[in-house]
A and B are shown apart, each in its own frame.
Chain A
């Protein structure tokens, strides 16, 4: 009968969809073993840990739910001769998936919030403070210099030469060290980066350090972390800031304490 052949043809799509869903599960999960977060170079490893835990939990949920979906479309493809079911209401089942999902989620949320508190907590008092100023399309860094104090700045003082807006009357600013698109940090020392924007919104993104913070004009923001691995890294802008957003890139060099101090005194001498 015509209708039967049409039904049979349709049923093949059920089989194909089931197999496709399973194939998608296998392929998509496999590549998670190939692509990983960038190599960690800071003390924020706990952010990676919770990422992997969520990846594991959602991965299991993904495989189970897509797998069952694939299984059902394969198993229950058109079968007019078999008995159907009118069963459509079960408080027990609804409670099961409501409570089940909640039970899985609550620990994730709680743990995530504890980590969030850690990240947002006040830095230790001996923290090394550096300023990073974002502008279309560069990063200007400022170190406080030998006196350990930043000179005052005001937006009214911005010019193309005085791009940091430093107050020439403030003696503390005389020894400030400035450089563009380059930052050097000592390893294993907590650092705090003060972030301000000279024009639009930007975002200070250190992929290897699990650090990202927007620069919001009119507001001064900051992040703090501890570099844990000596090496050369990249700083990226992660918030659209204009046509050159993609090339608003800077370099971060993490060095041993001794190398860092040598570098710092060289900079002060050159200043």
Chain B
């Protein structure tokens, strides 16, 4: 279909066209991953500072005073600095790590390889998408340096806090840059989503029907649609909020706000409108982050259990159902906002519907593990980790989706615990699993397996150590986003829990150095890959040569003869039959 790239793969390219303004989806995917790792280090460091304050409130340190001359001027963190920290932690992690990594990074890298295409449908748009995301990220990073600091209205940027410059220091220039950065991000993400959908619909290899797609690509397909339909709502909201901030409009600002000693001139707007617009994006966004990880999990589980994924069709239907439902549940973020109670009733019903396809996925994974021959490689360990986190986070969603229970738990640490398991946990572990799994294909070398396993064990155990106790904090009534819980008498007894979480968080943070070192060290020093299919997997990307050029397959694109999960097939001479093997001609092991 797109055979216009004959010269690629062996043609000589300049450094600029190969590594900087590349059209090659594989290089663009890697560019995204590099950006993601950089942003993850920043976002992670912010989380460490948040935990420092919560674990040791009011701690005095001359060292910090030197490092952060404004945020910790007297050696103690200021409340406005704290609010900025968690705001930017959320923003960077949700958008620039967990969305860009599994979706833009691995989506770009994997979709053409798994469907047998030479590149994405619109390679130039693809390049533009990265070169729009990067300025967005840079703008977000620059916002730390402006007067008043970066945005400080939470990652949800609720007006009026985010709209009124005098409401908090971060709502000065920092919030403007946040909105501009976000508009860049949305532009990038919609370009990517369009590319994903068009590519998957039109450019599948011969024989590759939709119901023969690997679940990873199915997930990316649904994510592309979700992104296209939901992100424009955020862009619209961000533009309207920019008008409110800079041009005196009142889309989100009502009459009657008395700030400082003046009554603001606004009238007619509603802060609730922002919440509707934001969560109309925000909830699909959760699934944009999660679905790729669930796809990776299915594929990796199947490869390393040496079993076909159980209930392939129901897995596809479950993901479609989750994708559809994600558009009609946003109000569960607003049960206590003052929205009509009748809407609260409706959103509880739709929200708890999501539990059904989620449970189907979980049970199918368990059925895949039944009678398996598990190979405990690092990607497999992380995939199993996702199953565990998904179960924990999914079950706590039942509490929060039930509006009568949400009244007490809303805006407490129970919510923080919940979304760090279900969304952040799945997204992060998904990215780790994907890095360890596809690294040999991406760089032609293996990562160091011992380091990788050490990384898994530290990450998995401390992840539970950090986020599970947050359920207890929330049940005991500790609010989110408070600088010092010890202000309240009833929260004082919880300080040991907060200190424990902080210690675990520091170990969790430090252990991420292991994967960073392993990733970059292995690129040059890792053991060279000897087979193009080192995991003995079935999907098309493993039919590529060890170091594929632009255009992917040097010769003909292989024809697809079967679904991607023929492990333990009765006809197989070994224990697996890749998708490109014709019938009656099974490979030997």
Chain A interface (Cβ within 8 Å of chain B)? 7, 10-11, 13-14, 16-17, 20-21, 24, 28, 31-32, 34-38, 46-47, 50-51, 54-55, 58, 61-62, 65-66, 68-69, 72-73, 76-80, 82, 84-90, 93-94, 97-98, 100-102, 105, 108-109, 112-113, 115-117, 119-120, 135-136, 155-156, 158-160, 165, 198-201, 203, 205, 207-208, 210-214, 216-219, 221, 234, 236-247, 249
Stretch at the interface among B120-128, B538-546, B567-575: B567-575
Contact partner of B271 (CB less than 8 A), chosen from A34, A136, A218, is A218
Given contacts A98-B356, A212-B408, contact A82 B80 (CB under 8 A): no
Measured between alpha carbons, how far is A200 from B171 in the docked complex, in Å? 13
Q: Which of A20, A46, A77, A199 has the most CB of B within 10 A?
A: A199
**Cβ 8 A contact of A218, one of B255, B336, B349, B570:** B255
- B261 interface hit (Cβ, 8 Å): yes
User: How far apart are A74's CB and chain B's nearest CB, in angstroms?
Assistant: 10
Among B314, B412, B460, the residue within 8 A (CB) of A94 is B314
> Can you list 27 pairs linking A and B with CB atoms under 8 Å apart?
A14-B374, A35-B475, A36-B476, A54-B405, A66-B388, A69-B384, A78-B374, A84-B575, A87-B371, A93-B311, A101-B360, A109-B352, A136-B167, A136-B259, A198-B256, A199-B167, A200-B164, A201-B158, A205-B411, A212-B408, A214-B336, A218-B269, A221-B338, A234-B489, A243-B483, A245-B481, A246-B485
Task: Tell me, rounded to whole Å, the shortest Cβ–Cβ distance linking B351 to chain A.
Answer: 9
Q: How far is the CB of B76 from chain A (nearest CB, A)?
A: 14
**Whole-angstrom CA separation of A38 from B542 in the bound complex:** 55
Q: Are A88 and B308 in contact (CB under 8 A)?
A: yes
Q: A47-B408, A84-B568, A205-B479 are in contact. Are A69 and B258 (CB under 8 A)?
A: no
Cβ-defined partner of B477 (8 Å) among A14, A21, A38, A77: A38
B311, B457, B484: the one contacting A90 at CB < 8 Å is B311
Confirm or deny: B344 has a beta carbon within 8 angstroms of a beta carbon on chain A: yes
Are the C-beta atoms of A236 and B405 separated by less than 8 Å? Answer: no
CA A256 to CA B364, docked complex, whole Å: 57
Whether the pair B487, A219 counts as a contact (CB closer than 8 A) is: no
**Whole-angstrom distance between the Cβ of A85 and the nearest chain B Cβ:** 4
The answer to whether B305 and A11 touch across the interface, beta carbons within 8 angstroms, is no
Which residues of chain B come closer than 8 Å to A24, judged between CB atoms? 388, 464, 468
Q: Which 5 A-B pairs have the closest CB atoms?
A: A218-B254, A155-B256, A35-B472, A88-B308, A207-B477
Chain B interface size, under 10 / 10 to 19 / 20 to 34 / 35 or more = 35 or more
**Contact of A28 with B408 at beta-carbon distance under 8 Å, contacts A38-B490, A62-B395, A240-B83 already known:** no
Contact of B263 among A98, A101, A155, A212 (CB under 8 A): A155
Residue in chain B with minimal CB distance to A220: B338
Query: Are A238 and B411 touching (Cβ within 8 A)?
Result: yes
A10, B375: Cβ atoms under 8 Å? yes
A61-B395, A77-B374, A243-B83 given as contacts; is B311 within 8 A of A89 (CB)? yes
Instruction: Report the minimal beta-carbon distance from B460 to chain A, rounded to whole angstroms.
Output: 7
Q: Which of B491-529 contact A (CB under 8 A)?
A: 497
Assuming the contacts A54-B399, A221-B338, asked whether A17 and B404 have C-beta atoms less than 8 A apart, the reply is: no
B360 interface neighbour in A94, A165, A240, Cβ under 8 Å = A94
Given known A10-B375, A51-B408, contact A109–B158 (CB-CB < 8 A): no
Q: Are B79 and A246 in contact (CB under 8 A)?
A: yes
Known: A213-B338, A216-B271, A243-B79. Is A86-B167 also a contact (CB below 8 A)? no
Q: Which residues of A contact B407 (CB under 8 A)?
A: 47, 119, 210-212
**Do B391 and A77 touch (CB < 8 A)?**
no
Q: How far is the CB of A65 from chain B (nearest CB, A)?
A: 5
Q: Is the CB of B475 within 8 A of A37?
A: yes
Q: Which of A80, A84, A136, A203 has the most CB of B within 10 A?
A: A84
Would you call B345 an interface residue if the criterion is a C-beta within 8 Å of the partner chain's C-beta atoms?
yes
Whether A28 contacts B403 in the complex (CB less than 8 A), given A66-B388, A116-B345, comes out as no
Q: How far is the CA of A33 from the CA of B410 in the complex (A)?
A: 21
* Nearest chain A CB to B91 CB, angstrom units: 14
Do A68 and B366 contact each other (CB < 8 Å), given the known contacts A85-B371, A245-B482? yes
Residue of B nearest to A112 (CB): B402
The reply to whether B261 and A159 form a contact with Cβ atoms under 8 Å apart is: yes
Contacts of A20 in B (CB 8 A): 460-461
B488 in complex: contacting residue of A62, A69, A77, A249, CB < 8 Å = A249
Q: Measured between C-beta atoms, what is the minimum distance from A157 to chain B in Å?
A: 9
- Distance in angstroms from A223 CB to nearest chain B CB is 9
**A88, B312: Cβ atoms closer than 8 Å:** yes
Whether a CB of chain A sits under 8 angstroms from the CB of B209 is no
| Known contacts A210-B407, A217-B256; is-contact A200 B160 (Cβ 8 Å) | yes
Across-interface contacts of A249 in B (CB, < 8 A): 487-488
Give CA–CA (A200, B565) in the complex, Å.
54
Q: Is B367 an interface residue (CB 8 A)?
A: yes
Give the CA-CA distance A136 to B79 in the complex, in Å. Answer: 14
A13 touches B381 (CB 8 A): yes
Q: Is the CB of B468 within 8 A of A28?
A: yes
The verdict on B212 contacting chain A, using a C-beta distance below 8 Å, is no
Cβ-defined contact, A199 with B338, below 8 A: no
Please give the distance in Å from A80's CB to the nearest CB on chain B.
Answer: 6
- Pair A243/B169 contact, Cβ less than 8 Å: yes
Q: Check A246 against B161 for contact (C-beta < 8 Å).
A: no
Binary contact track B132-166/A, C-beta < 8 Å → 1, others 0: 00000000000000000000111000101100100
Q: Find out whether the CB atom of B307 lies under 8 angstroms from the CB atom of A51.
A: no
Cβ-defined contact, A158 with B263, below 8 A: yes
